[in-house]
């Protein structure tokens, strides 16, 4: 983990709205997609485009630690089985 990923993770924990979004996301990509709807493209003065693969791998695990993951997705996740939509 780099200092960028660590700062973002701490900020997500500090901001209730970010933490709430983290609870329904499976990975970093989903989190970024959701907060982009609010016009957010950086957290803790770190632009999402500046993150390394190592940062993204850490943030994938960090977001999954809230309970959802690609193997155990939230029903609204891109990873969810669309059986209920039929």
Q: Which domain holds residue 32?
A: 3-80
Contact 38, 76 (CB under 8 A): no
Q: Between vectors from CA 22 to CA 10 and to CA 75, what angle results, nearest 5°?
A: 170
pLDDT for 84 equals 56
50 in a domain, yes or no? yes
pLDDT for 37 equals 94
pLDDT for 4 equals 96
Domain count, the chain: 1
85 in a domain, yes or no? no
pLDDT for 71 equals 82
* Whole-prediction pTM: 0.86
37 in a domain, yes or no? yes
86 in a domain, yes or no? no
Helix (H, G, I), strand (E, B) or coil at 42: strand
Helix (H, G, I), strand (E, B) or coil at 69: strand
| Backbone phi, psi, residue 63, to 5° | -65, -40
pLDDT for 8 equals 98
Low-confidence ranges of the chain (pLDDT < 50): none
Task: Write the burial class of residue 56 (CB in 10 Å: 0-12 exposed, 13-18 middle, 19+ buried).
Answer: middle
pLDDT for 76 equals 74
């Amino acid at each position: 983990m780099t200092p960028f990923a660590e700062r973002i993770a701490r900020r997500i924990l500090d901001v209730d709205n970010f933490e709430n979004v983290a609870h329904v996301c499976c990975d970093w990509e989903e989190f970024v997609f959701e907060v982009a709807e609010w016009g957010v493209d950086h957290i803790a003065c770190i632009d999402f485009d500046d993150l390394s693969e190592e940062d993204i791998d850490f943030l994938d695990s960090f977001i999954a630690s809230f309970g959802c993951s690609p193997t155990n997705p939230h029903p609204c996740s891109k990873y969810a089985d669309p059986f209920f939509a039929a």
